[in-house]
Structure 1
């Protein structure tokens, strides 16, 4: 019996670490746990993490996603704040309405909030390196009175920035930025304002750094690179940019296997795959499976770091867990 045409060989280099970070795991587990303990509905302000697959799967279990607390009715059901953090006005509004809040803000984002508050209390003007409009940036800027935080997005912004008092200046950063871009911006600020005070430990989170390091190792070795993640995911967008800068000629950001444009991957012999911190591993497996239907796939993992970080659930959920 004649066999079909032989599939072309394809070497897949799988970045490690990839996908969920500890903050994302904690946020998703918070919604899952709240649904189990309290039953649906559970309200979630903003997407719990920036991934459509995750949001839709939680919605199917009874989570109701809203953008503002005004969309939440008078209820005793839990209201969960997303991993990205919220401005100070949001918990104040929730308290005023006697809503039952579970805060799933990533502890590393909370760390940035605390840093900004301390600098402000000490009389320093705060510079936030980040992207305008991102929920994390809105949340961090919203920790302090209006006008207390100056947003710097680019190196050009850093070069043009004019503080009120160069001797009373501090900076914090969004946790999901490009390590290299942020380093250049911070170095510019330090050169221009030698007295500027930075965080004791870098604000860019361990997961962002590790995932970018893995991409830097893989990108120069492959014909194309896929970043599994959502277009509104900052850390996923940065992974795509890192791949391009590291020498990959063709890097794309995809949410699912169904988004693959096979015309883009016709004659490749090697493919790198990673996933943003809010993308579940099942989507990576789905994409590898789609390539395995067309290519003779050989998968090799390229590791940049071992991760063993764990963040406990918000306290009310931990207490309920302990009581069972």
Structure 2
């Protein structure tokens, strides 16, 4: 081989980057269930179906359901009498539940069962006289829903600095709960501060951060050191998607989020020396459908990627049951409605 040919061969991978897919990525069981609840309600009752807040935080999913007759609202005053109402996967406060009951809506609850588990724990321990610290992000609908299970005695902490200011009345009767979509590492750091400041605090028997959040973050921890850049498919409002991008950055790999393939910028693939990234890592938040991942792959192929391979990872087989009254439509009908 001539020197010129050898040089060309050594540089070839730079012009033909490899796409590395994280496993697992994309939809989790709670998101699948929530979307299916809206789809089945539309099939059974017809449009419109009202949904309190975005069913999940993904622009593509929300727009697709809007096109089929779902109407997304924040205020129950926007829902007409006798309408069918779906609560989003993030959960709602007791005040919202009570208002929906007063107004007589037919309600289907798409709250993720792992969020419901947190609500049940809060209600149970509250009856036993406990106060609560909630680790989470202010303004996130899941946080509002969980804190809204009580009228008082639940305090939000967003970082370590917030812990010392919590006005706990009886530290011996204090429990901690967590938003399910947080950074595992950030939550652990805040929880350690809580335990230092309140040594008697009661922790959940099993951590509140959900299996899907944990698995997707673990997959990025495996992938990020092997690639030059990480692309996360997810909407800006998606907490778990944002955490994936932040995690890649924390591990020293540039990370970017895209709501769709159109958001992907070619310059993100430029390496530090002006060379094209050899390996591009790709993952998706738990509310991002695979159709968006495939579109990003095609965009990367258009930019020069020639190979795509998946890393080994955890296989997820979780499935949550549907609410009563929505289980009589066949999956074939629901699947055909998605196409």
User: Common fold, TM-score beyond 0.5?
Assistant: yes
Residues 227-270 of structure 1, C-alpha deviations (whole Å, 9 max, x = no match): 1001111101111111111221x101110011112222232111
Q: 1:173 aligns with which of 174, 178, 191?
A: 178
Q: 2:147 aligns with which of 135, 141, 148?
A: 141
Q: 1:79 aligns with which of 68, 76, 85?
A: 85
Give the CA deviation at 1:285.
0.4
SS of the equivalent of 1:313 reads coil
* 2:259 is aligned with 1:255: yes
Q: 2:57 aligns with which of 50, 56, 64?
A: 50
SS of the equivalent of 2:97 reads helix
* TM-score, with structure 2 as normaliser: 0.90
SS of the equivalent of 2:145 reads helix
Q: 1:281 & 1:320 partners in 2: Cα distance? A: 23
Gaps (5+ residues) in structure 2? 1-11, 271-275, 334-339
**Preserved contact between residue 266 and residue 303 of structure 2 (Cα < 8 Å):** no
Q: 2:224 aligns with which of 219, 222, 240?
A: 219
Residues 184-206 of structure 1, C-alpha deviations (whole Å, 9 max, x = no match): 11111112212100111110000
Q: Which deviates more, 253-262 or 264-273?
A: 264-273
Residues 74-113 of structure 1, C-alpha deviations (whole Å, 9 max, x = no match): 23x3110000000011111111111100000000000001
* 2:278 is aligned with 1:237: no
Give the CA deviation at 1:304.
2.9
Matches within 5 A, 1:141-220: 141-145=147-151, 147-220=152-225
Q: 1:217 & 1:99 partners in 2: Cα distance? A: 46
Matches within 5 A, 1:5-84: 8-75=15-82, 77-84=83-90
* TM-score, with structure 1 as normaliser: 0.94
Matched residue, 1:264: 268
* 2:96 is aligned with 1:96: no
**Preserved contact between residue 130 and residue 173 of structure 1 (Cα < 8 Å):** yes
Q: 1:185 & 1:48 partners in 2: Cα distance? A: 29
Q: 2:329 & 2:266 partners in 1: Cα distance? A: 48
**RMSD value over aligned CA atoms?**
1.8
* 2:273 is aligned with 1:273: no
Matched residue, 1:313: 322
Q: Which deviates more, 172-181 or 255-264?
A: 255-264
Q: 1:105 & 1:222 partners in 2: Cα distance? A: 35
Residue-pair matches, total: 316
SS of the equivalent of 1:296 reads coil
Matched residue, 2:273: none
Give the CA deviation at 1:167.
1.2
Q: 2:313 & 2:118 partners in 1: Cα distance? A: 25
Matches within 5 A, 1:103-122: 103-122=109-128
